[in-house]
């Protein structure tokens, strides 16, 4: 299992997990809850609308987040071993602390050939866990070709974020991906972004020291996460990725 995670993280930056211990009822209820919320009257939804980044919770599902955090801890153990480190290494530097849950609702598109759901980008955090309903739309860029990530019943998509690429000193890859529009719908996705604990914002961030050697020198300068976050928030999806500013 560790070897499969290592190969997927090095070559694709994406993989899917099943038999993860999360009850199918929890996943189904999450999808259904987002569907019902978005089908409500517009005036009801406006009451929860906010662009305030300081507002920590807009709406949430405690049971789902509990399962995501538990699975995240397991995945960080596997990823640590895949890097040749102790199973608790990524957990010990608080990678599994601090997460953000989002929900996306893509209604049917009458002319999908004229648009995209979400443009090409890489995730800025450490790790992303994605729940999808049964409608395809996610695509991953691999060897300059786009590949569909077809939904698997009960499965969750895992992808490496920019910050884990930095921590691994480019051993793991944060891969560009996009969402395409569909005639059918709605397509529903629920990404859970692991961003690291807030205490990391003020500390130097860079490749894990145990992965650095004369044969494998650092590929990045150390930087403050708060500066990285500021760069990400001030740039568009089409511009230079924030981690590129710190490459050696």
Cα–Cα dist 179/171, whole Å: 25
Cα–Cα dist 151/84, whole Å: 30
Beta carbons of 231 and 245 less than 8 angstroms apart: yes
pLDDT of 157: 98
Cα–Cα dist 85/169, whole Å: 13
**Residue 246 forms part of a structural domain:** no
pLDDT tens for the chain, 248 residues: list them. 999 999 999 999 999 999 999 999 999 999 999 999 999 998 888 887 777 767 655 666 889 999 999 999 999 999 999 999 999 999 999 998 889 999 999 999 999 888 878 888 899 999 999 999 999 999 999 999 999 999 999 999 999 999 999 999 999 999 999 999 989 989 999 999 999 877 777 888 999 999 999 999 999 999 998 888 888 878 765 567 888 889 99
**Residue 214 forms part of a structural domain:** no
pLDDT of 160: 98
Q: What is the CATH number of the domain that holds 48?
A: 2.60.120.330
pLDDT of 236: 64
Question: Rounded to 5 degrees, what angle do the CA atoms 108, 110, 115 make?
Answer: 90
**Residue 189 forms part of a structural domain:** yes
Question: Domain residues for 81?
Answer: 2-202
Element (H, E) at 59: none
**Residue 143 forms part of a structural domain:** yes
**Residue 194 forms part of a structural domain:** yes
**Residue 232 forms part of a structural domain:** no
**Residue 175 forms part of a structural domain:** yes
**Residue 225 forms part of a structural domain:** no
pLDDT of 201: 76
Residue 173 CA to its chain's centroid (Å): 13
Phi then psi for residue 41, to 5 deg, are -60, 145
Q: Tally the domains of the chain.
A: 1
pLDDT of 154: 94
- Per DSSP, helices labelled H in 100-219 are 162-167
Cα–Cα dist 142/148, whole Å: 11
Beta carbons of 241 and 125 less than 8 angstroms apart: no
Render the burial of 64-84: b for 16+ CB within 10 Å, e for the rest. Answer: beebbeebbbebbbbbbbbbe
Render the burial of 138-165: b for 16+ CB within 10 Å, e for the rest. Answer: bbbbbeeeeeebebeeebbbbbbbbbbb
Asked, as a colleague might, if the bond just before 186 is cis with ω within 30 of 0, I would say yes
Residues 6+ positions from 4 with CB-CB distance below 8 Å: 15
Closest CA to 128 of 106, 86, 96: 96
């Amino acid at each position: 299992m560790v070897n499969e995670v290592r190969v997927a993280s090095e070559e694709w930056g994406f993989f899917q997990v099943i038999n993860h211990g999360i009850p199918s009822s929890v996943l189904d209820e999450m999808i259904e809850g987002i569907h019902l919320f978005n089908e409500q009257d517009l005036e009801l939804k406006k009451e929860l609308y906010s662009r305030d980044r300081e507002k920590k919770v807009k709406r949430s599902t405690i049971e789902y987040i509990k399962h995501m955090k538990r699975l995240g801890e397991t995945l960080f153990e596997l990823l640590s071993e895949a890097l040749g480190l102790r199973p608790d290494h990524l957990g010990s530097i608080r990678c599994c602390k601090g997460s953000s849950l989002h929900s996306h609702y893509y209604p049917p598109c009458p002319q999908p050939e004229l648009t995209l759901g979400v443009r090409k980008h890489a995730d800025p955090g450490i790790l992303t866990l994605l729940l999808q309903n049964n409608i395809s739309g996610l695509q991953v860029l691999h060897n300059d070709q786009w590949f569909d990530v077809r939904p698997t019943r009960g499965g969750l998509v895992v992808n490496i974020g920019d910050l884990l690429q930095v921590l691994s000193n480019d051993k793991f890859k944060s891969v560009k991906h996009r969402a395409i529009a569909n005639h059918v719908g709605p397509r529903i996705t629920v990404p859970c972004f692991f961003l690291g604990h807030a205490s990391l914002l003020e500390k130097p961030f860079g490749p894990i020291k145990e992965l650095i050697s004369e044969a494998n020198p650092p590929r990045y300068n150390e930087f403050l996460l708060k500066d990285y976050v500021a760069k990400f928030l001030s740039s568009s999806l089409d511009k230079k990725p924030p981690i590129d500013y710190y490459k050696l």
